[in-house]
Structure 1
Amino acid sequence: MTTVCTAEQMRTAERAFFDAHPGADLMAVAAHAVATTAVTMLLGDEPLEESAEWIAQQRVLVMAGRGNNGADGLFAAAELCRDGWVVDVCPVLGSLHEAGAGAAQEAGCGEVSPVDALDRHYDLAIDAVLGIGGRPSIPDSLARLDEALAGADTPVLAVDLPSGLSADSGEVVRCVHARTTVTFASRKWCHLARPAAACCGRVILADIGVAVPDADQVASVTDLADLWPVPGPASDKYSRGVVGCDTGSSQYPGAGVLGVLGALRSGAGMVRCVGPDAVRQHVMDRTPSVVCAAGRVQAWVVGSGWGDDAGNAARLDRRLADGVPVVVDADALAVLPRRIPEGCLLTPHAGELARMLGIDRAEVEADRRGSCLAGARMFGATVLLKGSIQWVATPDQQISAALPGPAWTAQAGSGDTLAGVCGTLLAAGLSARDAGLAGAGLQALAAILSPGPWSPDQLADRFPEVIGRLVAPGPVGAVEREFSA
């Protein structure tokens, strides 16, 4: 799992560190991490012992602000300059952090205006203008520099996060585009949530001695690979898991098809479709391997596309009576609470969870994490709260987030497909928590690999390739780098 924190959690952790270590110089530790990363980016394959003359020919631009983020960049500039690199400091906001500027000047760094910097060649730029306290967007002067650096293919190293991003979200208004970001103590949400994550490039986590005990955990690609059920030589369709899909209606037959596609394309040993006749006909036309007959199942998927029908409560009760784990989605959520078997997974979006909790949707949106925990506590089941950041909370109040994906998946039918994937994973024996994390993670990875407005059924058709590459023999690192590119 990847540790991730909010800006406020990071500030709280820093205050606790300084209370316990009065006089400690975190800035020097952070600046050294920035300088070390910068040297690695500059040298590449150049042998250090043979490159003193070459080093003196390289030019580094440090774009700095007046706050602590700027100070980290300025102290890093001073270290680089003392080691022989040619460094220009650019006060993008008109002034600089006083102590950092003094150290950079004493070390021999030059100074260049944002306008003059546009006409100079640099081998590396360091973005230390705005940190976790910055508001989304950047001034025109910095936007012009970012555009010029991109046009010259100059690599950019961001300090903590690219200027212009919000630490706590994936929102992008206007920001610096980094090839590498070095951050401290814990990743922030902008490093993981898209589209902001794509502006961060490779994220390097530097240990500066600060612990963030209340940080959250986000599933990584490696976690997903470890969780995914892979058949062995002795496997058969029953041991791999039989999923029952009671989804769709004559009004919404497509929801039934999408749930079946999610289950089938994610590796179910068998999928049974027991929805209405109209649904089963559409399913058979698209997926002839699906069995449209009643029989034993190891997990049910219910609720997607049921519509507002007076018989929904009885329809849900029939499936709950089997005593196997159930993915309860969409319209079936509206007929809770009722006694449900252990190991069930509820998959609401924010509006559905609000109705379940008896509160306004705005309250859920304001505290998605807390609302997800409240849902799990109220209904005694694991809750996967769908959205840009997808939280998974268990009845015993454990919570973590699935790997975030692009916003392209925010479209009708994505939740139907996701419910089917989670049904496959429950039938294969995963816990409701792991099924929620892995199911949402698969959908995110498929969307990352196929950016653009792919419909949910098209994205489901890509699941087998994504899973195959994910669980192929060998290290996951290369796959993880590709998925996060």
Structure 2
Amino acid sequence: MIRAHTAATVREAEEPLLAAGEPLMARAACALTTEVARELRARGNRVSGSSVLLLVGGGNNGGDALHAGAHLARRGCQVRAALLTDRPHPAGLSAARGAGVRLHHVLQAEDVAGAVLDLAGRADVWVDGLLGIGARGGLREPLAGAVAALAEERAAWPVEPLVLAVDVPSGIGVDDGTIPGPVLPADVTVTMGTAKPGLLLPPAAGLAGRVEVVDLGLGLDALAPAACTLTATDVADLLPVPGPEDHKYTRGVLGIAAGSHAYPGAAALTATGALRTGLGMIRYLGPEVPTGLVRTRHPEVVTVPGRVQAWVLGPGTAPDDAARMEELAEHLGEAARTGVPAALDAGALALLHEETELTGPAVLTPHAGELAQLLTARGEAVTREEVSAAPARHARLAAEITGGTVLLKGATTVVAAPHGPLYAQHDATPWLATAGSGDVLAGVLGALLASYGDVIADGGDVLAGLPATLAATAAFLHGRAARLAAGLPAEPAPTAGAGVPITATDVADALPAALRTIPR
């Protein structure tokens, strides 16, 4: 699991080490040097002779960059430092000067951004050491103008320079993943001690590139993370594997109330997603047209009521269908009475537009627009754009208001419960933005909830966070299946290419292949 801790937690953990004289900056500088050299070689360049530009601000990040620049200069790199501060780190500045790094006091230039661009145009590598984790809010002038100019210039180049960020890309919301102003997108972020929430949470996570964590011995493993990302190893521990004594009822029975005469395909896609993920049985309850389609696609699906261990409610239903909404409300009430978990998608989310209190375990699966509608209906007026700009904050707010777990769909999926860490899963491909993919995700989630349904119903406070973990697992499997369906490797790779278009059915059919990539 990739764990992220807040800036305050990191600073508190660093204090006793710094007081004891631990050389944290030296370790950070060595890690930065190693990563620059590795990336240069990966691009087919020699380290000696390559040109490096250090973007240096005040504080420790600027010091890390200057010390790393000194190491690179000694390895034969042509290193220049654009000093965008009047108070560069003294020891770092001395080390850089002693190693032959050329120092440029660009703040004295009439056109600061132009002076920085002139230096950048001669560099193969840009090292962003402008702001650290102690900064709040976006970049201020003249840094903001210089960074905006660098980002624009880089995007226009046919061969982009390597950009390496020190700890975090300067200007991101370190603890919440927001982007309050201009940011220079990084190819690699070398982060010190632990990941920071802004490196995992959207939209800032999309600007961090590959994240490399440098172990500084901060001893944070025992502390609860502020945000985390599941890996294949974590998912392997969560996937239920049937034993010789299992049967269809012990493996999980999922109730699905999805689809309508207008959107019958949603029922079939939800059922396919659940079946391909693995569970004992599905009970589908719905109108005649989607029922017929589900029976045709999946004759193993049972279409009569009975005991279930989880519900999926709402895919392919509309809030203005009063009769269908009443059925969904009845199923949700039944889930609450029996204590089994429920996944609420699409039309079922409207059940929470009133001051409805969730009395049982539930996972809501909105996209940004649906979350904005839900929050606005509950008295927190917000737009889709505002949700997209701060998804973690709004997902957590919705979880606190409704009492449920919120899986907010997006390029990076965020999972928030009223308490506990945020999950951020960026396992998918943009090709997943296609009609019906959310229905498949609801089925995957439903299968996992049903597999653990009795445990969740009986677990009490001890297992209160399990629905959120299972929601993150569903996002992981769904994203990985999409990658495989698009012809991409299971793990994101810089040289993998763009992939090919896919349909929601392709994603569902690729779920067994995704499961085979999980080490068990």
Question: One fold, TM greater than 0.5?
Answer: yes
* Structure 2 unaligned residues grouped into runs of 5+: 105-115, 454-465, 487-498
String of CA shifts for 1:244-274, please: whole Å, max 9, x gaps. 2111112332322232222122223322322
Distance in 1 (alpha carbons) for counterparts of 2:261 and 2:24: 63
Cα distance, 1:326 vs structure 2: 2.2
Using structure 1 for the length normalisation, give the TM-score.
Answer: 0.75
2:423 aligned with 1:423, yes or no?
A: no
**1:347 corresponds to which residue?**
365
Distance in 2 (alpha carbons) for counterparts of 1:176 and 1:393: 26
**1:31 corresponds to which residue?**
29
Cα distance, 1:277 vs structure 2: 0.6
2:7 aligned with 1:10, yes or no?
A: yes
Q: Secondary structure of the equivalent of 1:361?
A: coil
2:321 aligned with 1:309, yes or no?
A: yes
Cα distance, 1:354 vs structure 2: 0.8
Q: Return 192-201 or 240-249, whichever deviates more.
A: 192-201
**2:334 corresponds to which residue?**
321
Cα distance, 1:403 vs structure 2: 1.6
String of CA shifts for 1:193-238, please: whole Å, max 9, x gaps. 5786566454221234657768513232122222122334444433
Cα distance, 1:426 vs structure 2: 1.3
Cα distance, 1:280 vs structure 2: 1.4
**1:218 corresponds to which residue?**
228
- Residue 263 of structure 1 is aligned with which of 267, 274, 279? 274
Using the aligned pairs only, state the percent identity.
33
Cα distance, 1:183 vs structure 2: 0.7
Distance in 2 (alpha carbons) for counterparts of 1:453 and 1:191: 28
Cα distance, 1:279 vs structure 2: 0.8
Distance in 1 (alpha carbons) for counterparts of 2:224 and 2:7: 9
Aligned positions of 1:120-135 closer than 5 A:
125=125, 127-132=127-132, 135=139
Q: Tell me which amino acid in the other structure corresponds to 2:441.
A: L
Cα distance, 1:26 vs structure 2: 5.0
Cα distance, 1:19 vs structure 2: 9.3
Describe the shift of the 1:359–1:128 C-alpha distance in structure 2 as closer, same or farther (beyond 3 A).
closer
**1:272 corresponds to which residue?**
283
Cα distance, 1:355 vs structure 2: 4.8
Distance in 1 (alpha carbons) for counterparts of 2:182 and 2:276: 36
Corresponding residue pairs, total: 451
- Residue 425 of structure 2 is aligned with which of 383, 388, 403? 403
Aligned positions of 1:114-263 closer than 5 A:
115=118, 118=121, 125=125, 127-132=127-132, 135=139, 138-140=147-149, 144=153, 151=159, 157-162=164-169, 167=174, 168-169=176-177, 175-178=184-187, 180-189=188-197, 191-193=199-201, 200-208=208-216, 215-221=225-231, 222-263=233-274
Describe the shift of the 1:434–1:469 C-alpha distance in structure 2 as closer, same or farther (beyond 3 A).
same
CA RMSD in angstroms comes to 4.2
**1:483 corresponds to which residue?**
none
* Structure 1 unaligned residues grouped into runs of 5+: 45-53, 474-485
Aligned positions of 1:64-79 closer than 5 A:
64-68=55-59, 69-79=61-71
Describe the shift of the 1:77–1:219 C-alpha distance in structure 2 as closer, same or farther (beyond 3 A).
closer
Contact in 2 for aligned 1:258/1:413 (Cα 8 Å) = yes
Q: Secondary structure of the equivalent of 1:151?
A: coil
Contact in 2 for aligned 1:417/1:460 (Cα 8 Å) = yes
Describe the shift of the 1:414–1:65 C-alpha distance in structure 2 as closer, same or farther (beyond 3 A).
same
Distance in 2 (alpha carbons) for counterparts of 1:332 and 1:422: 15
Q: Secondary structure of the equivalent of 1:187?
A: coil
Cα distance, 1:317 vs structure 2: 1.3
Distance in 2 (alpha carbons) for counterparts of 1:310 and 1:326: 20
Contact in 1 for aligned 2:310/2:450 (Cα 8 Å) = yes
Distance in 2 (alpha carbons) for counterparts of 1:344 and 1:286: 28
Distance in 1 (alpha carbons) for counterparts of 2:345 and 2:98: 63
Distance in 2 (alpha carbons) for counterparts of 1:2 and 1:327: 26
Contact in 1 for aligned 2:168/2:199 (Cα 8 Å) = yes
Contact in 1 for aligned 2:259/2:266 (Cα 8 Å) = yes
Q: Tell me which amino acid in the other structure corresponds to 1:10.
A: A
Describe the shift of the 1:151–1:243 C-alpha distance in structure 2 as closer, same or farther (beyond 3 A).
same
Distance in 1 (alpha carbons) for counterparts of 2:70 and 2:507: 49
String of CA shifts for 1:404-455, please: whole Å, max 9, x gaps. 3457345554433222211101111164233212112222333455356634
Q: Tell me which amino acid in the other structure corresponds to 1:419.
A: A
Q: Secondary structure of the equivalent of 2:97?
A: helix
Describe the shift of the 1:414–1:233 C-alpha distance in structure 2 as closer, same or farther (beyond 3 A).
same
Aligned positions of 1:426-465 closer than 5 A:
426-429=449-452, 431-449=466-484, 450=486, 454-465=502-513
Q: Return 343-352 or 35-44, whichever deviates more.
A: 35-44
Describe the shift of the 1:96–1:285 C-alpha distance in structure 2 as closer, same or farther (beyond 3 A).
farther
Distance in 2 (alpha carbons) for counterparts of 1:79 and 1:422: 49
**2:457 corresponds to which residue?**
none
**1:49 corresponds to which residue?**
none
Aligned positions of 1:353-368 closer than 5 A:
353-355=374-376, 357-362=378-383, 365=387, 368=391
